[in-house]
A and B are shown apart, each in its own frame.
Chain A
């Protein structure tokens, strides 16, 4: 990499050994991918590591080193959701012991460390930092040092920002230095698609199954999706944004997608159209049968496949304000159909703290509470990491949660029927 005089001085330790080691790590990372230079990070960071899990000893040690060196990010950053919320996600003594004393024993200490290096505020814990209520919204062309696969793919695809799929720790390093190596999704060439995805379904596909199918097929390549605008329209309204949020999370967790283009809808697809397709692109056709095949391929990891679910998580990634309203309406209608007042399966919906605050000012919030649903801002995945809690028969509409836990995936229509007790 060609370094500027200032960057060379950092690497040579003129600004301290910690900063030099951070620079060395980013230089090696960039050189591996053919980066020739650094580019400035133009806006706030978003970190994936939000959990004070005891085993991540390297994180706390490096954070201490950063604090000791007096380093702080130039822009305040947001971070993924917290792992624990005993008020809204109640659990027994044994579970509490595992969560607080064994698994997330470093939570308080780690949050203090985050605050010292530039955490935005106490509401900054969400995987959907880009929602308007949270406000960490990159502009078109912004260069980011973000991690959290679902946030990176959203920022790249829906907002037209530029960010590689950074790992935890490298997200902090880039945000602290205010620079990232230029390669991959930061370049025009790296944003071109190797796959054309032809959506030929009879109706709008389930976002999380479509994303899963594409992720498993293209892995880390960039897909250019045609046929989806027929159902989603050509404007990035609330419905489209929520859909793409969930779709992207599935492409990134079931595969390694960092950027997708949706013809006639996402900004670069609107600007450049099929010019974004590389010459030798491959094609993947998705129809109703293909989606059904993918859906049926998901293994059931419960000890007893016929067990009745005891817990349901809706909101991985965190729900948008519009989704909270829609889910409240859907649950209300389904309960009416089932002749019930409250949900049959313990249900937790998750959303960003700032979104929850706004939702609490609406009449739908009281309705949702009256249905017996709990609202939290935790990360469901971190809850299911607890072997006692996660070993229970949990259902979810999140393909990401399915991938990283034993939770069983159901489509939205099925989930609402199950939790409300509507007979099939």
Chain B
């Protein structure tokens, strides 16, 4: 039987599509800033210290990660990419969401009417089970599973 991960819903929504998995903490500013600064139509991960996302398209995908790290501009960066409409469709956290990412998705929801999905506490196993490029399904109930 397919493994179904269940987490806490922070911003509700459903999604089916590709995922990108960062097995290490995602530095929000370092990852998103270059594409956002260029006013690009899609985000190409620009954190040189994170090989899991460096050079990869992150717009419209489900980004699976432990937590975000780095500068306290992080939340604002998430809000901005949501306002620009180039955000990942879903942020799926294996751990409890960190305060910066939490700020970002709450700001995006309340001030930008963004429909970015955020689920946390999915458990560390999800980082091993899912591989970048896998097709996954995200449910409104906070479930995440592989699509055959």
B71 touches which of A32, A62, A253, A406 (Cβ 8 Å): A253
A149 to B28, CA, bound (A): 13
Cβ contacts under 8 Å, B67 to chain A: 219-220, 256
Number of A-B contacts (CB under 8 A): 123
What distance in Å separates the Cβ of A234 from its nearest Cβ neighbour in chain B?
30
Across the interface, which residues of A come within 8 angstroms of B110, CB to CB? 21, 24-25, 28
A24 to B111, CA, bound (A): 11
Chain A residues, CB < 8 A from B106? 25, 28-29, 32
Contact A255-B69, Cβ < 8 Å, known A33-B102, A57-B83: yes
Q: How far is the CB of A351 from chain B (nearest CB, A)?
A: 20
Contact: B25 with A219, CB < 8 Å? Answer: yes
In the complex, the answer to whether A404 meets B33 with C-beta atoms within 8 Å is: yes
| Chain A residue contacts of B29, Cβ below 8 A | 404
Known: A58-B80, A167-B104, A169-B76. A33 touches B69 (CB 8 A): no
Q: How large is the interface on B (under 10, 10 to 19, 20 to 34, 35 or more residues)?
A: 35 or more
Q: Which chain B residues numbered 91 to 136 have a C-beta less than 8 Å away from chain A?
A: 97-100, 102-104, 106-107, 109-112
Query: At the interface, yes or no: A164 with Cβ under 8 Å from chain B?
Result: yes
Interface size class of A (residues with CB under 8 A): 35 or more
- Residues of A contacting B69 in the complex (Cβ-Cβ under 8 angstroms): 215, 219-220, 254-256
Does A157 sit within 8 A of B, measured CB to CB?
no
User: Once the chains are docked, how many angstroms separate the CA of A166 from the CA of B106?
Assistant: 13
**Is the C-beta of A388 less than 8 angstroms from some C-beta in chain B?**
no
Cross-chain contact B73 with A48 (CB below 8 angstroms): yes
Residues of A within 8 Å of B102, CB to CB, are 29, 32-33
Known interface pairs A32-B102, A385-B33, A404-B33; A168-B70 also in contact (CB < 8 Å): no
Whether A32 contacts B97 by the Cβ 8 Å rule is: yes
Q: Which residue from chain B places its CB closest to the CB of A185 in the assembled complex?
A: B99
* Contacting residues, chain B, for A168 (C-beta < 8 A): 72-76
Q: Whole-angstrom distance from the CB of B102 to the nearest CB of chain A? A: 5
Whether a CB of chain A sits under 8 angstroms from the CB of B57 is: no
A241-274 interface with B by 8 A CB criterion: 252-256
A184 within 8 A of B: yes
Q: How far is the CA of A164 from the CA of B72 in the complex (A)?
A: 10
Minimum CB–CB distance from A130 to chain B (whole Å) comes to: 15
With a cutoff of 8 Å between Cβ atoms, the chain A residues found around residue B20 in the complex are none
Q: Which of B36, B71, B80, B103 contacts A170 (CB 8 A)?
A: B103
Q: Is the CB of B107 within 8 A of A167?
A: yes
Q: How far is the CA of A62 from the CA of B111 in the complex (A)?
A: 8
Chain A residue contacts of B99, Cβ below 8 A: 29, 33, 164-167, 184
Which residue of chain B has the shortest Cβ distance to A165 in the bound complex?
A: B99
Instruction: Say how far A293's CB is from chain B's closest CB, in angstroms.
Output: 15
Interface string of A45-59 (1 = CB under 8 A from B): 000110001011111
Q: Could you tell me the distance in whole angstroms from the C-beta of A291 to the nearest C-beta in chain B?
A: 17
| Contact among A21, A28, A387, A403 for B30, CB-based, below 8 A | A403
**Structural contact, B70 and A55, CB atoms closer than 8 A:** no
Partner of A404, one of B66, B71, B84: B71
Assembled-state Cα–Cα distance A61/B27 (Å)? 26
The 4 closest A-B pairs by CB, nearest first: A167-B75, A167-B103, A168-B76, A147-B72
Interface of B toward A, CB cutoff 8 Å: 10, 25, 27, 29-30, 33, 36-37, 39, 48-49, 66-76, 79-80, 83-84, 97-100, 102-104, 106-107, 109-112
